[in-house]
Structure 1
Amino acid sequence: MGIVSIVLLLVLAVYMIFILQLILGFGKIKTFESPNLEPKTAFTIVVPFRNEEKNLDKLLQSLSQLNYPISLVQIVMVDDFSKDDSVRIYNQWRMNHQEVDTTLLENLTLSYSPKKDALTRAIPIAKHDWIVTTDADCIVNQNWLLTLDRYIRQNDCEMIVGAVMYKTKNNWFHHFQQLDLMSLQGTTIGSFGIGKPFMCNGANFAYTKKFFTEIGGFGGINEKASGDDVLLLQKAVNVNLEKVHYLKNKDIIVKTKPENDLFKLFMQRVRWAGKTTTYSSGYAKMLAVTVLLMNVSLVVAFFLSHRCCPLLDWKIVVLVFLVKYVVDYILLYQSNSYLRKGRFFVPIASSLIYPLFASLVGLYSIFGSFSWKGRRFKK
């Protein structure tokens, strides 16, 4: 067996150890059984938005349909210099829902991160201790806050992470994104299960103002354009791991929209991947490097086993691919069982394309810049 084959199998072995850990960790996070309690916790919902005229109305309608006492909810919207009709749509909704305690703020440019700036702008005026963040292109479940309230009252926590999934159409491109997001959700839950949480999504994130202040807010993590969620989570974990919880319950799942454009999808994933270089979690960094190496190794191995220059036995490449497919399938199956409850399969086409896609995203995020919401951000 040549050195190339040995290296490929070693990368696979390390990858399997990480993924199997996450699979075991996933099973340790039990579904929260929501008790029948009268709502008590007051929440301030913060929604930063920029150029979301196509999505904002659906989010606002879902917020107005929450199964929660209106007296316990404040909604703070932060306009990040929108150039479309987003503000008009919000104002029209506010006129039709005057009973809702809601405020519109204009963002301030305080750092390199517009979203962190928006949250920093909103949190000081929050009337309630519990801050809940979501995105303008999301739809929340009517029992979203109700489930949060019941969990908070049953558990000693200061920060709560919830799940996010796509509301997809029946096409391959959307399903490809759903599988990718489910892998991230599975990783999130699994990391909580092994006591090494490092990932979350700002579209479904909650924490107290008190805890936010104790950990120094976004201080020290403003150099990244994004990271208002995962980098803040890792700061919290370093300060007090026991206060950071994952809430697993179908009523707290937030739905968002997949991208319809390949370039936008690539830029979105580059933005997500770019956070890894500033992770404070050593475990997260090792996992990210291992996943990138696994995907890059498969792509390289494919070309090395080509008939034109067979430097690697194609049977070993097939074996590595199948083993990776199986361990990935198990984690994705767990995620699907929680997030979707439907039939599940991993298309071979997606599994073949994903290593190339993930490799390009990972490598580009190290050296390249990205554009998002009409702005260009440098590495």
Structure 2
Amino acid sequence: MIWLLVFTFVFYAILIVSLSIGFKNSPNYIPQNTETKTSFSVIIPFRNEAKNLPLLLKSISELKYPKNLVEFILVDDASSDNSIEVINNFLSVITNEEQGETFKDATRIDIKVIKNVRISNSPKKDAITTAITTAKNNWIVTTDADCMLPINWLNILDNFILNKKPNMVVAPVNYKVENNFLEQFQLLDFMSMQGTTIGGFGINFPFLCNGANFAYKKTTFLELNGFKGNNNIASGDDIFLFEKFIKADKKSVRYLKSPNAIVTTFPVKSWTDLMNQRTRWAAKTSSFSSLRVKLIGLLVLFTNCFVIYYLLTGSVKMMFVPLVLKMSIDLFLFLPTIQFFNHKSSFFKWYFLSSLLYPFFSILVILKSIFFKYGWKDRRFKK
């Protein structure tokens, strides 16, 4: 058993250190002096997001980008709350010149709301596909209704596109968290994914992305038949499309590492919602096309299993050894990641407790994704 433990942790250390080197080798993008040219169609699916839409809409109104070069398509996926009313109220305000200076620059924002057309088992993929059929611009940008957009978001994206000539752009997503265990635990999990995403690009092995900050050419999307082939899977509107673009032309898929490009979202507010959310994310992993990605998943799984095994059955001298070893290895990637996303002040306060719970949590998520249905947005899904 001890040799298997050593073997697993050596390979886990190689993986994490490689990703940390990749993170450091991925430089922050410095904008070049170019004229703004790119036209964007920003697609935002939503379902029962009345509480989150005001922050999103406010951030849209504050974007510093030529209004004639961007349209926003909000796709209503059968909302049963007052999401539509919230949007309509916002639109009525920005078109009323008597409302003062608050939304002065927003009076020319091109925002339209359309209904989702369901054709598959994946509501979000359907929503994006529905919007793309009406999008008037070639560059599609997706984000989520529970996000806040940075003021220069489209400016930095435009500059990156004009200078790097990609077909797809993956960009960073951050969490805005409170100082409590539930949200700090989610931050630990989410930062590991963000660090892994950036590190993968840095070692020329991109294998993760996030649909909350994602852009690609409509023409390439159509050439690759969009989500066809994976629309039976409820989640994965980002990763499966990402895999298609990678397979077609790996060099054309680029990562935009810039603080000005970070989209901010929020953690869920209950452990039940967290379990369902992570189960939804995990349910798609068995359908990844890359064998290397699946092997990475197995390596991480075995590492967590060893931590649990020794915590539950190890001697007093050994029970914490795998946990402390894993925590030490993880810091190689966590440290540059939390520095980039500016979470250093609160991170270490919760690091040990979060690391202690995480192996148990991750195994439960995997088991649930394999054997049980999961709920999300008042719907039930199979794997």
Q: Please give the TM-score of this superposition, normalised by the length of structure 1.
A: 0.94
The residue that corresponds to 2:55 in the other structure is 58
CA distance in 2, matches of 1:295, 1:112: 32
Query: Is 2:376 the partner of 1:372?
Result: yes
The residue that corresponds to 2:227 in the other structure is 218
The residue that corresponds to 1:27 in the other structure is 24
The residue that corresponds to 2:89 in the other structure is 92
Q: 1:18 aligns with which of 12, 15, 20?
A: 15
Q: 1:230 aligns with which of 239, 247, 251?
A: 239
Shift of 1:320: 2.2
CA distance in 1, matches of 2:6, 2:320: 12
Question: Could you tell me whether the CA contact under 8 Å between 2:310 and 2:318 is conserved in 1?
Answer: no
Question: Could you tell me whether the CA contact under 8 Å between 1:186 and 1:332 is conserved in 2?
Answer: yes
Shift of 1:341: 6.1
Query: Is 2:112 the partner of 1:103?
Result: yes
1:38-53 matches, cutoff 5 A:
38-53=35-50
Shift of 1:95: 2.1
CA distance in 2, matches of 1:65, 1:82: 26
The CA deviation string for residues 247-293 of structure 1, in whole angstroms up to 9 with x for no partner, is 00001101111111000001101111111111012221111111112
Shift of 1:126: 0.7
Q: Which runs of 5+ in 1 are unaligned?
A: 306-312
The residue that corresponds to 1:241 in the other structure is 250
Q: Which amino acid aligns with 1:129?
A: N
1:228-377 matches, cutoff 5 A:
228-305=237-314, 313-340=315-342, 342-343=344-345, 344-345=347-348, 347-377=351-381
The residue that corresponds to 1:308 in the other structure is none
The worse-fitting range, judged by mean Cα deviation, of 32-41 and 324-333 is: 32-41
Runs of 4+ that moved beyond 4 A = none
Shift of 1:314: 4.5
CA distance in 1, matches of 2:297, 2:359: 14
Question: Could you tell me whether the CA contact under 8 Å between 2:308 and 2:360 is conserved in 1?
Answer: yes
The worse-fitting range, judged by mean Cα deviation, of 243-252 and 102-111 is: 102-111
1:133-152 matches, cutoff 5 A:
133-152=142-161
Q: Please give the TM-score of this superposition, normalised by the length of structure 2.
A: 0.93
The worse-fitting range, judged by mean Cα deviation, of 283-292 and 7-16 is: 7-16
CA distance in 2, matches of 1:355, 1:341: 22
Query: Is 2:174 the partner of 1:165?
Result: yes
Question: Could you tell me whether the CA contact under 8 Å between 1:29 and 1:192 is conserved in 2?
Answer: yes
CA-based RMSD = 1.4
The residue that corresponds to 2:164 in the other structure is 155
Q: Which amino acid aligns with 1:53?
A: A
Which SS does the other structure have where 1:255 is aligned? strand
Question: Could you tell me whether the CA contact under 8 Å between 1:235 and 1:280 is conserved in 2?
Answer: no
The CA deviation string for residues 7-42 of structure 1, in whole angstroms up to 9 with x for no partner, is 222222222222122112112211001134332211
Question: Could you tell me whether the CA contact under 8 Å between 2:120 and 2:126 is conserved in 1?
Answer: yes
The CA deviation string for residues 198-221 of structure 1, in whole angstroms up to 9 with x for no partner, is 111111000010111122210111
CA distance in 2, matches of 1:325, 1:80: 41
Work out the percentage of aligned pairs sharing the same amino acid: 43
CA distance in 2, matches of 1:216, 1:192: 25
